[in-house]
Chain A
């Protein structure tokens, strides 16, 4: 049974790889002949991937699928997650030696944007942008060999546990501690904490920068978890209690805070792409509704109050998207400007997504405020994403710090 599943997944992965490879080879044969230029757009094969992803999500993650999680008790759409895994999306940037596709971050951001558009109720951000990135960045060969193939194939879901309640976390106020290969403390909220197989836990350290990262399996006696209700009912969260839970160090002792900051820079670019996808979807929903809604004998889309509102959304979305391009490039190329590029992408994307989601409801009037309408998907998700890996204020501060460091260098 398990073997059959693996074979099926491998076939699907292989299919995606072969198609992408074909395109890539055809393309590179072409560009080596011509003059390769500085290029600020996605390639043809990345656009093809987008088309595929959008079609796939239209079929497998329509509004009804999101609503099922919204109205039900499930923490995520397990069926959709399984299909996403079969598409190979969780394996995108994982190297082939660890069972991944070995593709670039430019492919991953295309997928992230489409997941944002669809408001997909799956643990993609936790498992891919955070847990997978943490292992890629910090994992020992052994840790990579154990976890990356399982993350790629969807056998394992990973997450990231930093917050310990209200306020901005700092190494100096971490209450979670670790000693002798065991972690003790309480993390809340942890995105997808109820369904994840392991978490990357930030704990205090008496060395170095005051923190270390620990890899903790969640199905063990020392771990208890309870569901936490958040404003986005389509995304499960948990409070996790660690009581001498068995753990292993991920990265060095006492270098966890610095490592985490780099991890968040990487994740910020990917979150930002999801937010930009969401922002555009909310703008399109507002536009389509306004066009069809009539008042005083005219489409409400013909009123300047609405036109200017939507033009404002478009402007924010466009600036955010352009900053995301730079973030994607900085992430993919390993640029030294990643910290600045990531914070810029993240701040712009938070602002665009929250603004678009709020004004989308407003444009719908009373209907936008009903349970029945789908405006709530974006309204919930935009706010959740805006605090998930640190708020607008946190990232604004990081942006200026990165600006100072870039200018000092």
Chain B
């Protein structure tokens, strides 16, 4: 056990830090660019210098770096406030699925442009009738010559409106039990018949969408896995989703809460002197630090050739509610003014309010808290699966409700 860098690692860290110092875009450089353009600029710059998706093979645009080097890179990059967030689904979820299930020509065509940020991908999984019970999805695909014809609707698709490609799970056989009738494709989001409608969230923003498919044609060459094997392929994506969404270190964290607790007063003393405040901050520090070192441990496991398992679910299960609780608590520290949500008037430029309003999304996206707890109970602790009323039943006979 050694939390210090080895000689090689220290050299790698110095190299990464030096490159970041010289290349992180300045405010002037980003002036006038929207968030997407700024993120693309930064991603392309990293790619050109060999610092994008560094664990990937060099031929796919990566650096062939080790898991530990990835940790080091993340630590160094996190020291800067760089534009990010648009590439998580493509690089973190679509790419590992392509690597596992795609053909060599898929790799050559799509992976480098995923790494460079030139092409953005979205995930078309959830449906109005298939969320936590994803395999209950109804969007259907019918074979027509070398193509498949897609009809149906997806929902909660983050970034569909700016994505170039999407990964898609559909029903190819409704007459077999639900998990057996699915197949997995990817498609060009500009395909005729794809219609994207933004969903306004309770934050007021619209980061995700409904996506409608009307006779959309996808060539069979864009199928990943066999026909009927879609569920297994989707599991590859989902395991990576939980790792990708994970953490919860950024935004409202102990560092910010500590700063606020030093600035606001309780009874003529800084709030940080209050023992109840200290206790809460300590508990969140334990969670943050515990998640960080749990992440390091799974990196070590990966570097020893082990595959990250369902234990990765704890990052999201702990991180998302923690973010909500911390934002709520920091607003409490501001007392009456905690309600003000205004970039100019609010402490931290309204980050607390924005985070609090967005937090319910974090506890739902990518598997709800409850689904995460089920996964840990079933796949880590070996407890029985939920009883399934639809087990073995052809999909067409599965009862459905009105919601």
Binding site for B on A (CB under 8 A): 35-43, 106, 283, 287, 290-291, 298-299, 301-302, 304, 306-308, 310-312, 314-315, 318-320, 322-323, 325-326, 328-330, 332-333, 335, 343-344, 347-348, 351, 392-393, 395-397, 399-400, 403-404, 407
Contacts and interface: CB of A to CB of B under 8 A. Distances in A.
Interface in B332-373: 370, 372-373
A347 B286 contact: yes
Contacts of B297: 40-41, 322, 325
A303 to B, nearest CB: 9
B2 to A, nearest CB: 5
Interface residues of B, number: 55
A393 B275 contact: yes
Contacts of B292: 322
Interface of B: 1-6, 8-9, 66, 68, 71, 254, 258, 272, 275, 278-279, 281-283, 285-287, 289-294, 296-297, 299-301, 303-304, 311, 314, 317-318, 370, 372-374, 376-378, 380-387
B2 A400 contact: no
A307 B283 CA distance: 24
A39 B386 CA distance: 37
A319 B383 contact: no
B1 A308 contact: no
A330 B378 CA distance: 34
B317 A315 contact: yes
Contacts of A399: 278, 282, 285-286
A326 B295 CA distance: 12
B373 A348 contact: no
A306 B376 CA distance: 12
Contacts of B291: 319, 322
A298 to B, nearest CB: 7
Residue among B5, B296, B370, B377 with max Cβ neighbours from chain A (10 Å): B377
Nearest to A46: B1
Contacts of B296: 40, 322
A37 B9 contact: yes
Nearest to B301: A41
A122 B201 CA distance: 58
Contacts of A351: 283, 286
A251 B318 CA distance: 43
Contact of B383 (A301, A329, A330): A301
A397 B275 CA distance: 7
B293 A396 contact: no
Contacts of B5: 38
A315 B314 contact: yes
Nearest to A290: B383
Contacts of B275: 393, 397
14 contacts: A37-B303, A38-B4, A38-B71, A40-B293, A42-B1, A298-B387, A301-B383, A307-B377, A310-B381, A311-B372, A319-B290, A322-B296, A399-B282, A400-B272
A111 B1 CA distance: 16
Contacts of B381: 283, 287, 307, 310-311, 314
A302 B383 contact: yes
Contacts of B1: 39-43, 106, 325, 328-329, 332
A312 B314 contact: no
Interface of B is mostly: helix
Contacts of B285: 344, 399-400, 403
B2 A311 contact: no
A322 B370 contact: no
Contacts of B304: 41
A396 B383 contact: no
Given A35-B8, A314-B380, A348-B290, 16 more contacts: A37-B8, A38-B3, A38-B4, A38-B6, A40-B293, A291-B383, A304-B373, A306-B383, A311-B377, A328-B1, A347-B286, A397-B279, A399-B278, A399-B286, A400-B285, A403-B258
B375 to A, nearest CB: 8
B287 A319 contact: yes
Contacts of B370: 304, 308
Contacts of B281: 400, 403
A209 B231 CA distance: 66
B373 A307 contact: yes
Nearest to B299: A40
Residue among B4, B68, B285, B296 with max Cβ neighbours from chain A (10 Å): B285
Interface of A is mostly: helix
A397 B277 CA distance: 10
Given A307-B383, A315-B317, A333 B373 contact: no
Contact of A322 (B6, B290, B377): B290
Residue among A40, A325, A396 with max Cβ neighbours from chain B (10 Å): A40
B46 to A, nearest CB: 23
A406 to B, nearest CB: 11
Contact of A323 (B289, B303, B378, B383): B289
- List of 6 A-B pairs having minimum Cβ-Cβ separation, nearest first: A319-B290, A307-B377, A396-B282, A322-B293, A302-B384, A311-B373
A48 to B, nearest CB: 15
A68 to B, nearest CB: 31
A264 to B, nearest CB: 16
B290 A320 contact: yes
A37 B377 CA distance: 33
Nearest to B281: A400
A347 B282 contact: yes
A35 B6 contact: yes
Contacts of B373: 304, 307-308, 311-312
Nearest to A325: B293
A39 B383 contact: no
B68 A37 contact: yes
B386 A400 contact: no
A310 B178 CA distance: 29
Contacts of A106: 1
A323 B286 contact: yes
A319 B286 CA distance: 8
Contacts of B374: 304, 307-308, 311
B286 A318 contact: no
A38 B378 contact: no
Nearest to A348: B286
Given A319-B318, A329-B3, A347 B283 contact: yes
B243 to A, nearest CB: 15
Contacts of A344: 285-286, 289-290
Contacts of B287: 319
B294 A322 contact: yes
B281 to A, nearest CB: 6
A326 B285 CA distance: 13
Contacts of A308: 370, 373-374, 377
A308 B387 CA distance: 15
B175 to A, nearest CB: 29
Given A41-B300, A400-B272, A318 B2 contact: no
A307 B301 CA distance: 26
Contacts of A302: 383-387
A308 to B, nearest CB: 4
Nearest to B278: A400
B282 A318 contact: no
B68 A307 contact: no
Nearest to B383: A301
